[in-house]
A and B are shown apart, each in its own frame.
Chain A
Amino acid sequence: MSGPVRGSGEMRGAGVGEQGFGPGSGRAGLTMRAAQFAVRVFARRVPAHRRAEWEAEWSSELMHAWSEVTDDVRPSLRARARLLMRALGALADVRSLRRLHGNGGDGGRLLRDATRSIRRRPGLSVSVVFTLALGMGSAVAIFTVLDGLMLRPLPFRDAQQLVTVSGASGGLLLDQESMAVWRSQSGVFAQAHAYAPSRTGTLSGGIEPTEAATWMVEPGFLSMLGITPVLGRDFTADESTPGNDRVVLLSDEVWRASFGRDRAVIGRVVQLDTLPYTIIGVLPATMRRLPLGIVGLVVPMSDPSPYPQLPMVARLRPGLTVESAVARLEATRAVLQRERPRPDEWQVHVIPLARGLPGGARNALWVLGGAVFFLLLIACTNAAGLLFVQGVARQPEFALRAALGGSRGVLFRQVFAESLLLALLAGIAGIGLAWWGVRGLLALAPSVLVRFNYTPIGIETRVLVFAFALTLLTGLIFGLAPAWRASRGSAARAGRGATASRSQVRLRSAVQVLQLAMAVMLLAGAGLLGRSFLNLTSVDPGYEPERLLHIELARRVRADTAATTAFHASLEERLSTLPGVTGYTRSSGQGFYVGYTLEREDGTTLTPASSEYLVMATVDTAYFRVMGIPMLEGRPFNASDVRTASEAVVMGHELAAALWPGASAVGRRFRVNDHPWVTVVGMTGSVKLDGPHDPLGRLFMFYPSARVRGTITLRTNGNPAALAAAVRRTVRDLDPAQPIRTIETGNAALGETIAQPRFLLVIMLVFAAVALLLAGIGVYSLIAFTISQRTRELGVRMALGARWQNVIPDVVGSGMAMSIAGSLLGLFGALIVSRYLRSQLFGLSPLDPAAYLLAIGLLLAASLVALLGPLRRALGVDPVKALRAD
């Protein structure tokens, strides 16, 4: 090996071709040129790493031979023929080199050998690739989603220098006076701009009317974040003056959905609600969201701002940390408070610009991250286990090769190349699987997750690098062990059968126990989430969601209120008379009180804990009948309640019991804070309008109103989904410019409230099932392997008269001992880890015994099934064959 390398090093110094000795040089005649040509042609077939050197050698030898014969005389025909014959001899040399070094040199030969070896064992190779691909694919898919939702820095320039400035701790808003003061702190902020969070605007004018989240920002806001329109331009400073402010930037999504990515949209005039706006630019696709929501349209904020309070984002001066900024502002605040005191005190809070992903969702994602990590470990241990068994089985082969002179290094490299190739194949398959998995995850993901990616989620370079690093690492880890052992194969072993040493089997068993333990942990997690989900779905929502159809219309600004009232009156009339519709009601979006006081008629008050929200909904008189909410006491609203507006309320029994424990609430009066007094006319059970999960819905009450805006709900006497098309048609007939936000059945709406737990559960179930399968395969392969190692011993025992009753406990025993050890270890691990699941569990302790018992039971059952195969083989051992086996 060392010869050619050394040779080629010196070759470089020699520089044959540079010195004018090449084939074209003066003295070379036709014969010489033909010989050189032949060598050049043959050289193409020489392994690349030796080509230059080879060609130089042949060329110089031919030159030398030629110079010998042409020294003083004209060469004879015979001499010419001899030279040509020698040149043709180079072909045999090429062949010998190719035999020695393979087509593409060493690497090529290794690859070819590895491919051949892998193809010789298709079953094993497919299992290893499948197992690893599964582990890697899920890991990459989950990592992609985690990365997109939580880990990736916000897609703004120097995002760590961006902060939210607010007036109250935990709040987001600043009043105009504070804003003027704080934004002038040029020693702290390089830039500071206010924005108004999304309102829903309706875009129309030559396009299908659509709703889009419309943001108002001060000119300079986008450039502060480092966002430049991909088409058109940003707002100019004078576009904040009224009259100049009718310009709009489109998000990539709106540009695509409403304008088909037409580059000619710049300068086009569209209607935003009722006013004409000129499109001046398109935002990049990476600008999907701002910290407070998805971005559809951006318009300039007029100066002075129409809002008394606004959120403000600022960029800290370069080099300034959040802590030092806080310290400087605090000093200014103290001075201000002394010199320009304010009744509510000057306040300023600076926090780094955050994603704003809700804690529950973040928690769920971390749970998934942990689960997929365990799955990946299981997959890797499984692949390692499979390769271990194979490594042992191949020991005689390696020992034989070593005995025949195969060097240790060559064997090591070969086994290593095989493992690496398997890992690479798995990596490729895994990335395919991940691509598919990410799409699946996003399709399945509850909207709360999908809404929070700032940039579109997709597998990108970073994740690919992660996957490949993972692949190589896996290949390295499980490739090294068998390769190391193979390279130690001694000639003495060549003739013997394949046996594993006791320590090897012990190591393999330990790995198996770990794998079983991790499977138990995943199973227990899935069990807990499953039981929690059952609890969720078995909660009585307090109304009858079957056969309901909810219709939400988008906001549409009409000429006057009368027009809106007329539209809704005709809509009610038409929808109520659709065939199959038995009821029509409207209810408002809910409002709520936090930190309130309830005052009873007798002057006594009740102040619930600050976590006890009081939730309110405004409904029409048909509401309770259509929704199927029964009255436990009293009556639903009637027409006279509507006329007296807001004096009558219907409340849930929890609120009633809190106000008047042990007494009937109907007929009693109370008020919230200093709002008008109201009279309780009816009492319902627990109504979970926001789903069983909703922690806010415990205390609630309904107000009556004749003109409720908000959701329309129809009760039907058949399948409500079948009515959706008719509803759309009716709305369109009545007002073609009225967008429909959503139409969904009562069951679908209820299902949406439990989408996040369902999402988590589905993934955990898939993971647990895969883990169970892999653990089963692991047990199977290990026990099958130990039995194959003991074939001879079992044969002898059977021959000596042992009966299957004696053999079974032996075979089953070792397998079950492993499963039990794994179960106990897993139980222990699950008990520790399960507390991270607490926030995801509903009506269930993370220590729920049923989930753990189920996990262990499933694992033991799977282990037993996995043992059946090897057991049958053990019982079928023919003593004679067994004794001859070696």
Chain B
Amino acid sequence: MRITYPTAIVLTALGNGHRHGFDIIDVTGLRAGTVYPILRRLEDESLVRSSWERVARARAAGRPPRRNYRLTAAGEAMLRETQERYPGVERLFGAAADEGMAAT
């Protein structure tokens, strides 16, 4: 698949351990309308795998279960390839994360 700049950012966020759609939005500063389509595409290409949070855990936190996204092995490989191609992403990330909430 074509790796765009936003895709590289989403991949990096996932690689950094952000698992929920809204968390990725928060941390990357990208819009929901950008992040979710990228997640769908990554999942369709089997670069990302999704699962649901355990009910018991969600209940303990007093909210409905959330959907988790995780990189697959192919996704990890793609992430490494991306980091070589866009070495700046990792750096930029920290800055974006700080302003995340403001950008959405």
> A: which residues have CB within 8 A of B?
1-4, 6-7, 10-11, 13-16, 19, 21, 56-57, 59-61, 63-65, 67, 82, 85-86, 88-93, 95-97, 100
Contacts and interface: CB of A to CB of B under 8 A. Distances in A.
B4 interface: no
A78 to B, nearest CB: 9
A674 to B, nearest CB: 99
9 contacts: A2-B49, A10-B52, A19-B64, A56-B64, A57-B67, A63-B63, A96-B40, A96-B41, A97-B40
B83 interface: no
Nearest to A62: B22
Residue among B55, B65, B104 with max Cβ neighbours from chain A (10 Å): B65
B63 A90 contact: no
A19 B58 CA distance: 11
Given A14-B65, A93-B36, A64 B52 contact: no
A60 B50 CA distance: 15
B14 to A, nearest CB: 13
Contacts of B36: 89-90, 92-93, 96
Contact of B64 (A59, A88, A96, A97): A59
Nearest to A97: B40
Nearest to A91: B33
A113 to B, nearest CB: 17
A13 B36 CA distance: 23
Nearest to B32: A89
B32 A1 contact: no
A90 B33 CA distance: 6
Interface string B19-52: 0111001000001111111001101101011111
Interface in B65-89: 65-67
Contact of A90 (B32, B44, B65, B101): B32
Given A4-B43, A13-B55, A82-B101, A60 B49 contact: no
A102 to B, nearest CB: 12
Contacts of B91: none
Nearest to A59: B64
**Range, interface on chain B:** 20 to 34
Contacts of A14: 52-53, 55, 58, 64-65
Contact of B44 (A57, A95, A100): A100
B79 to A, nearest CB: 17
A3 B50 contact: yes
A678 B25 CA distance: 118
Contact of B62 (A7, A16, A67, A92): A67
Nearest to A82: B104
Given A3-B43, A89-B33, 4 more contacts: A2-B46, A3-B46, A60-B63, A96-B40
Contacts of A67: 62-63
Nearest to B69: A3
B64 A7 contact: no
A21 B58 CA distance: 11
B51 A7 contact: yes
Nearest to A95: B37
B44 A65 contact: no
Contacts of B31: 85, 89, 92
Given A64-B20, A90-B32, A10 B40 contact: no
Contacts of A2: 46, 49
Residue among A11, A13, A86, A90 with max Cβ neighbours from chain B (10 Å): A86
A61 B33 CA distance: 14
5 nearest CB pairs, A to B: A89-B32, A92-B33, A96-B37, A93-B36, A21-B64
A25 to B, nearest CB: 10
A275 B52 CA distance: 86
Contacts of B49: 2-3, 6
B32 A86 contact: yes
Nearest to B21: A61
Contacts of B22: 61, 64-65, 86
A294 B38 CA distance: 74
A16 B64 contact: yes
B33 A11 contact: no
A57 B53 CA distance: 11
B3 to A, nearest CB: 14
B103 to A, nearest CB: 10
Nearest to B59: A19
A57 B64 CA distance: 9
B69 to A, nearest CB: 9
Contact of B32 (A6, A63, A93, A100): A93
Contacts of B25: 86, 89
Residue among B34, B44, B52, B104 with max Cβ neighbours from chain A (10 Å): B52
A86 B61 CA distance: 22
Contact of A10 (B21, B43, B51, B58): B51
Contacts of B33: 88-89, 91-93
Given A3-B46, A4-B50, A60 B40 contact: no
A826 B33 CA distance: 67
Contacts of B58: 14, 60
Nearest to A11: B52
Nearest to A13: B55
A97 B40 CA distance: 7
A1 B45 CA distance: 7
A90 to B, nearest CB: 7
A41 B101 CA distance: 26
A278 B69 CA distance: 83
A31 to B, nearest CB: 15
Residue among B20, B40, B50, B59 with max Cβ neighbours from chain A (10 Å): B40
A60 B46 contact: no
A693 B53 CA distance: 86
Contact of B37 (A21, A61, A92): A92
A90 B32 CA distance: 7
Contacts of A91: 33
A664 to B, nearest CB: 102
Contacts of B63: 21, 60, 63-64, 67
A4 to B, nearest CB: 7
A11 B50 CA distance: 11
